[in-house]
Structure 1
Amino acid sequence: MFPPPTWCGRSWLPCYCSQRSSLFWDKALLAVIMQSLVQSVFDKLLPPACPTYTGLVPLITTLLQDRTCFRAALSKGLGLGIVAAAGLIKLPQIASIVSSRSAEGLSKTTFLVETFGHTYNLAAHVRQGYPPSTYGDFAALLLQNYALLVLIYAYSGQPALGVSIVVGAVSLLGGMCSGGFPLGVLQALTAGNVLLVFASRLPQAIANYRAGSTGALSLVTCVGMWLGATARIFTTLTEVDDPSILAGYIAAGVLNGIIAMQVLFYRGKKSPAAPRPATKKTQ
């Protein structure tokens, strides 16, 4: 509501004109700022295969008509979604360990090898200038793996060793991301992604099978890791021209799927307790 009218000199008309003019210009300025902000955001989010953002309707029309733009936009959207989900995907696993105060069923080898793999893959993507949407999940997963390693070793009676491993892993990441570390070594490591995936996931799958239980493994985390690896196959095909990275994601999708099915199959089952040594009766 406007304030009570004032009178303009000899005129008998209320002086709403200046107030309405000011309100009009405020709205117009706000609209220009919002339009500029939306355009800058879309220009940063849209892949190079898509034209410059000029409006929502033209963008939808382009996506429906241009398959190249649609694939690139879908890949980038999936990549950003994976990065966002990666920041939460292992929190249920962390919560499961803390609540049960046990790391039973979790393979140390799996998390150590996985952490090493995330480290050099993150460094290789950064050094080669790939879009952040293709590697941001490595950074998020690494942070959660650091916490998991500390917890696993702490509940195994080796807290100092767990902290030392994490400090070493952080130092290794910093060294690999620096220009002093040979890029050729990183490329050679990514070429062995399939072997690393098998080395990191197979021990966990074998341990689950032998124990007849998945221990403290989180169903949400395992299913999420499988879905993430599967989605990464598409984003790698679209945005990253590297067959070794693609092969690694295919292997990860298969093995993460096996572990997720094991969690479903063994759900609610506990590993058999180790038999106690027989004690001799004294007469």
Structure 2
Amino acid sequence: MAEPATNDASLLERTLQVFVPQPCYDEFFVKFNFFDAVCAKVVLSKCLGYSIILGAVLVKLPQIIKISQAKSAKGISFMSVLFELIAVSATTAYGYAMRFPFSSYGEGIFLVLQTTVIVYLVLYYTGQKSGAILFLVIYSLCMAYLLSPVASIQLLSVIQSFNILIVILSKMIQAVTNYRNSSTGQISVITVTLLFTGSLARIFTSQQETGDTLIILSFVAASLCNGIILAQVLYYWNKKPKED
């Protein structure tokens, strides 16, 4: 009769260990040492990591909705979102191949899916419907390769090493476009704000969970660049793009 209670306790323990992994689980719930500084950082990192993943599920949905409702990608640089897609794809493939904790890179899966949709919409609403379909085919094949055992760690490391430059290029192209238009067009303030706060938090979680310099530097670069885009969104609030 006591078996269901035992199973419930075991399930609760496994659930807690997602956020409080060993040996911190024993430190907190066996020794009741809730003031261990190292474990506090581990738990904070885990909670932040999964919060970022949860937020990433819908982070670019406001941007997708805004483009779809306007039936326009006005003000959005194709090269910017393409470079952004390359960057997040590389980070996700690298994290997966390196077997980092899912909490350290899991949001990349959702960012990849949503950014892919945005690239498709930008092509579609600029009259390149066949190009949009071709893009989906080529990109799907590339990701299938990068996530497969065929892609070596060495190759993924090289790609990730270029990621900092790609991140900077993706955001700076958009920043220049915003400046020239004196407007941020169809860019969503919600999406940009979430990306900025998420990349800032990822600096801390990457230090705690991966210790990988390439990953950490890429999020530092992303934070700085996302901050610039966010500042532009606020500065050009409610201004329309210049007419071509």
TM-score range, shorter chain: over 0.9
CA contact (8 A) 1:83 1:136 kept: yes
TM-score for the superposition, normalised by structure 1: 0.82
* Per-residue deviation, residues 197-232 of structure 1 (Å, max 9, x unmatched): 111110000100111000000000001100010000
Structure 2 partner of 1:126: 96
**Partner amino acid, structure 2, of 1:41:** T
User: Aligned partners of 1:229 and 1:147: how far apart in 2?
Assistant: 21
**Partner amino acid, structure 1, of 2:113:** L
**Partner amino acid, structure 1, of 2:9:** Q
User: Aligned partners of 2:226 and 2:28: how far apart in 1?
Assistant: 41
Structure 2 partner of 1:114: 84
CA contact (8 A) 1:43 1:52 kept: no
User: Aligned partners of 2:134 and 2:26: how far apart in 1?
Assistant: 49
CA contact (8 A) 1:87 1:137 kept: yes
State the Cα distance separating 1:118 from its structure 2 match. 1.6
State the Cα distance separating 1:49 from its structure 2 match. 4.4
**Partner amino acid, structure 2, of 1:31:** A
Larger gyration radius, structure 1 or structure 2 = 1
Secondary structure of the residue aligned to 2:24 is coil
State the Cα distance separating 1:86 from its structure 2 match. 0.6
Secondary structure of the residue aligned to 2:58 is coil
The structure-2 alpha-carbon separation of the partners of 1:110 and 1:48, relative to structure 1 and needing over 3 Å to count, comes to farther
Q: Residue 22 of structure 2: which of 44, 48, 64 is its match?
A: 48
Equivalence map 1:1-283=2 (5 Å): 25=1, 28-52=2-26, 55=29, 61-62=32-33, 64-274=34-244
* Per-residue deviation, residues 147-190 of structure 1 (Å, max 9, x unmatched): 11111111100112112112211211110121212211111121
State the Cα distance separating 1:30 from its structure 2 match. 4.1
CA contact (8 A) 2:120 2:132 kept: yes
CA contact (8 A) 1:120 1:190 kept: yes
Secondary structure of the residue aligned to 1:255 is helix
User: Aligned partners of 2:198 and 2:88: how far apart in 1?
Assistant: 14
| Higher relative contact order (CA closer than 8 Å, sequence separation 6+) | 2
TM-score for the superposition, normalised by structure 2: 0.94
State the Cα distance separating 1:191 from its structure 2 match. 1.6
User: Aligned partners of 2:240 and 2:50: how far apart in 1?
Assistant: 37
CA contact (8 A) 1:110 1:201 kept: yes
User: Aligned partners of 1:253 and 1:201: how far apart in 2?
Assistant: 10
**Partner amino acid, structure 1, of 2:185:** G
Cα-Cα RMSD = 1.7
User: Aligned partners of 2:220 and 2:151: how far apart in 1?
Assistant: 28
Structure 2 partner of 1:17: none
**Partner amino acid, structure 2, of 1:65:** F
**Partner amino acid, structure 2, of 1:32:** T
User: Aligned partners of 2:93 and 2:4: how far apart in 1?
Assistant: 42
User: Aligned partners of 1:31 and 1:182: how far apart in 2?
Assistant: 46
User: Aligned partners of 2:13 and 2:27: how far apart in 1?
Assistant: 6
**Partner amino acid, structure 1, of 2:138:** G
State the Cα distance separating 1:120 from its structure 2 match. 1.8
Give the fraction of aligned pairs with identical amino acids, expressed as a percent: 32
CA contact (8 A) 2:73 2:125 kept: yes
State the Cα distance separating 1:31 from its structure 2 match. 3.1
- List gaps (5 residues or longer) in structure 2: none
Number of residue pairs matched by the alignment: 244
CA contact (8 A) 1:192 1:244 kept: no
**Partner amino acid, structure 1, of 2:155:** V
More helix by share: 2
